[in-house]
Structure 1
Amino acid sequence: MKSKAACAQLERRVQALEKELADCESRNGSDRLNQRYLEAILNNTNLPIYLKNADYSYILVNRQYERLAHITNAQIRGKDDFAIFPEPVARLFRTQDEEVVRRRTLIEFEETIPLPDGARTFLTAKFPLIDDEGGVYAVGGVCTDITAHKKAEAELREAEEKFRGIFEHSPVGIVHIDKNGAITESNEKLADILGTTVKEIVGIDALKSVPVEQMRTAIVTALSGKITHYEGNYSPVAGGAQRDIHTVFSPIFSSDGAITGVMGICEDITRRRRAEDALRKAHDELEQRVAERTVQLDRRTLRLEETNIALKILLEKREEDKKELEERVMFNIEKFICPYLEKLKVRCPDTAQQAILKVIQSNLDEINSSFAHKQKDNLATLTPAQLQIADLVRQGLSTKEIALILNLSPATVACHRQEIRKRLFLTNKKINLQASLMMLFPAVI
């Protein structure tokens, strides 16, 4: 009986052990599956993750950590930070780990780490692993690479500093108005132009408090999405002389196209306006002086024209008088002196007297020659027969040819030729009669 009871008890014990073994195998399989899941998560995330034991030696690191540090899990396991990183970096990590153990809570650290691919900045969340007895047996860390974010922050900060520098030191006034019409930003230059302070400007409702209606209208138009301008007078808040200002209001759009506010650029153009007014006044005065001077010149020109006409008339009169005088002199010589000179030649046969008469005749001919350009009028003194012979001489006919044509004797023609020379004041001159007739009287004969 005891043997059977012992066997039954042993059999139940074996069954219990078999069941316990099956449960253990089931749990181990489940644990292995969970471990594979955990490893898959750790090795497929883009965040570096590591775990250190209580001595701050590495227990494991994931693949992203391996890629960044250029080290494998097998190479780093069992080593601390001083065996992997430079002493200053290792000292920083150790100080952080000790703080996590001391405070027994998750702490975030921002750290810059020199890596083979260059320095990178991480935001690392370090946390303690605590056992059932309350002791810290490990320290874990999850790193987020914020290098690009920090670079963007630095660039944004630099851009903001540049904008602030431009904003504060701009030679023109700058104002920002939100979509409700409230002024949110203003630089000192705008306050100076408006005769007030930045503190007094910021916060006011531009749609209600701006004293110039046209300027309020321009702001409303800009809030509707259009760039607008205002140019005109503005009275400073603190009083004093009015100023001329030019303001441009431009709408500000968000990335989705919505209007978020208005940017205004204001310039004090008082000095420019005064300069323009002075220039305009000077221009008008110059135009007036030019007009007056033009009138004076026109008057002088008219007087000069009248004087020129008078001089022309006088010159024409002088020419006429000269012509008349020349004709009178030639007429008197021919009618009143030459006839008596011919009589003297007949009555004074003495050789000396004839010589004197010849000199007188030569001088008279010289006087007549000075009026050679007037010989055309002397054709009127020629008889019809002489005019006929003069025409034939001009044509180049000889004395015999002329005598034959006119049925005259050569002696008669020669006599007429001598008379023609005499009447044309060519006597005793070595001047060809034909050439004189062709040159002086071609259009008449």
Structure 2
Amino acid sequence: MITDKPSYEELEHKIKVLEKQVAAHQQAEEALEESEHPFRAFLDNLGDAAYETDSLGNVTYANKMGEIITGLPLKDIIGKSFLPLFAGEHQKTAIDVFQRTLDGESPEYELTFINGTICHFKNEPLRNEQGKIVGVFGIARDITNRKRTEEALHIAHDHLERRVEQLTVELTKKSKQMEQEIQEKKEVSKELKESEERYRTIFQGAAEGVIVADIETKKFRYVNPAMSRMLGYTEEELVRMRVDDVHPKEALDMVILEFEAQAQGEKTLAESIPCLRKDGATIYADIKTTNMVIDGKECNVGFFTDITKRKHAEQELRERETALEIQAEELQEVNTALRVLLRQRDKDKIELEEKVFLNVRELVMPQVEKLKKTILDARQKAYLGVLESNLNEIISPFAHRLSSKYSTLTPTEIQMAFLIRDGKTTKEIAELLNLSGRTVESHRQSIRMKMGIRNRKANLRSHLLSM
């Protein structure tokens, strides 16, 4: 097959046409570069990362901020797939939004680079002159700090929510406690009011006089009706008076010393304090005190017990004691005289006993001996025996012991005790004393009782012999 070859002129013409086209293309590229230069400069200085990819996902452009945000140099980014730039769990989302952009969408989303930087992305389809989508253009804004701030705010918000909830619970509890405290305070206030009324009633109705005095000024602040009655002043008059207005002048130094000692807590009771009534009479009181603060003032609360009657009674008692002491001295003198007389009586008694003893022994007993030598019948002999026995007992120690120890024995019982001691039977005693046997037994029983012999088996004669 034979074809016509272009001539030299035709080739030269085509070359010139091509040269013109190349020149025009170069001019267009230069014009494009010049038009793109401000745009590139803008992107390079943009505060966000700008990027372009082709339809396969290879990065064809990235500005300087892309290097900063990803932490990788541009040479490791441009010309390579965008996918390794993202953390594994974010790569699926990156592929999805890339495909959606190629499909004509303009998605906005958030992804995290492998260095941990979190960015907000906005993609736009990249089209050629014919409007065909040939890649992706996008802007990535670093929102790591914002995210961390949001996370911190979220944590803080959660913490705040929990704290608010906790505080709400605490405030609710506190509110209930406050309500309870308020109720308790109301009850306490009510009780205090009732207590105040009770104490006021007690204060007003107390039998003892009560004065509340300012320790510093010694001026009376409160008095009760009993104190008013005790001193004869009205309550209004007393609250205008001072301590030194209700005591005798001659006792003021002592009263002031007692008041100050009580005010300093050195003592709580002042006894027998003279008080001056409105009518000029002096009464006496025991004053028991306690200190307390009233309206910011140190006060001395004194409880006055009127002891005037007791004081007078004590004076009368002292006078009676003095009189009794005088009487006692007189009685002592009389008692001394009586003791002298009793000693003299005892002495006279001893002398009398000695005289009786001598007279019986020297005058009577010789006559009894003479009678015993005369002719006597049995009855006379018995009487003589009794007489002799009694005389012997009179001058014997037994008679003295018996009469002194058992002073309640009658003369007949003493005589019978001698006969029992001598071993006389009831019948013999009855004949000697001319008594019946029953009478003798009655005397024997009386002697036993007076001598304290309770046991019936105890022998009366043995007891008498033991004396």
Do the two structures share a fold, i.e. TM-score over 0.5? no
Greater Rg by CA: 2
With normalisation by structure 2, the TM-score equals: 0.40
